Structure 1
């Protein structure tokens, strides 16, 4: 096996890229007076702000991640005083509501979201292929045929 090729380290390089992106966004939040705010909170706050209180299941479906991932994020957000959970119609269902604190920081978050979106477009324009398009295409391809299946086909 040839380990000299960087192709063998795709996962490591993707994690490094994600660390760079998330690290810079986290520093922006700190610069804006929101230390500890996590970029994974953004979709939840945005969806609940625009669509009203929602279940974790509905948030997960809209965001496109697992129920477990949103549940963990919402738990962190609750500890950070950004959301409250109330029971839904179904006893197992929990409805996510924004707190007054989350509502108070919405103008700061909105300015950051707009600036981050513009900066992402700038980054996409500098690349041979827009990163956002490439990520979407990779997610679609893996949704249709997981990497595990592809690996087994090669073994």
Structure 2
């Protein structure tokens, strides 16, 4: 068993929990010959199933990630043959579409989603508050008052202003 991170290292603990959850889901995929499928693909697949092909910008907004994160995930999914990109109505846009390969995998992927949801509910019975409720509460609190502001309010001194830019010798004459 891996030792738990220091209680003060909250970011490390959050990443550790995510690694435990996503790591085991990835093992489930690998055991079912879906080694190219990653847990991070599921929100994209769900969004495309629900709303159809869409630009990466809209996909990012729909799944709640940055454009950069959505772009990276779509690129990985494209390499795995799960999505393709077609020109959108605006020449600057590319529409993300699920491929036939992705549609063929849907019975297995949706069965995993269902089993994962059930497993999460079982895990929640061992916690003092369901994990999704805690994470939603945490997100709301940090959106209302960002952690950066909380750090400043805790007494961290304000950084000094940057020095003025150097003047050219010609300006001094």
Is the Cα contact below 8 Å between 1:26 and 1:36 reproduced in 2? no
Cα shift at 1:97: 0.4
- Structure 2's unaligned 5+ residue stretches are 1-5, 157-173
Is the Cα contact below 8 Å between 2:84 and 2:98 reproduced in 1? yes
Cα shift at 1:127: 0.5
Equivalent position of 2:95 in the other structure: 95
Cα shift at 1:138: 1.0
Equivalent position of 1:77 in the other structure: 77
CA distance in 1, matches of 2:45, 2:26: 16
CA distance in 1, matches of 2:7, 2:16: 14
- Which protein has greater RCO, CA pairs closer than 8 Å, 6+ apart? 1
SS in 2 for 1:96: strand
Equivalent position of 2:20 in the other structure: 20
- Which residues of 2 match residues 1-150 of structure 1 at below 5 A? 6-150=6-150
Displaced runs of 4 or more, over 4 A: none
Cα shift at 1:55: 1.4
Residues 2-23 of structure 1 show CA distances to partners (whole Å, capped at 9, x for unaligned) of xxxx441111111111110011
Is the Cα contact below 8 Å between 1:55 and 1:93 reproduced in 2? yes
Equivalent residues, number? 151
CA distance in 1, matches of 2:30, 2:54: 28
SS in 2 for 1:86: strand
CA distance in 1, matches of 2:143, 2:91: 31
Is the Cα contact below 8 Å between 1:56 and 1:67 reproduced in 2? yes
Is the Cα contact below 8 Å between 1:59 and 1:70 reproduced in 2? yes
TM-score of the aligned structures, taking structure 1 as reference length: 0.92
Residues 57-90 of structure 1 show CA distances to partners (whole Å, capped at 9, x for unaligned) of 1111111111111111001100111000112122
Equivalent position of 1:3 in the other structure: none
SS in 2 for 1:40: helix
Bigger radius of gyration: 2
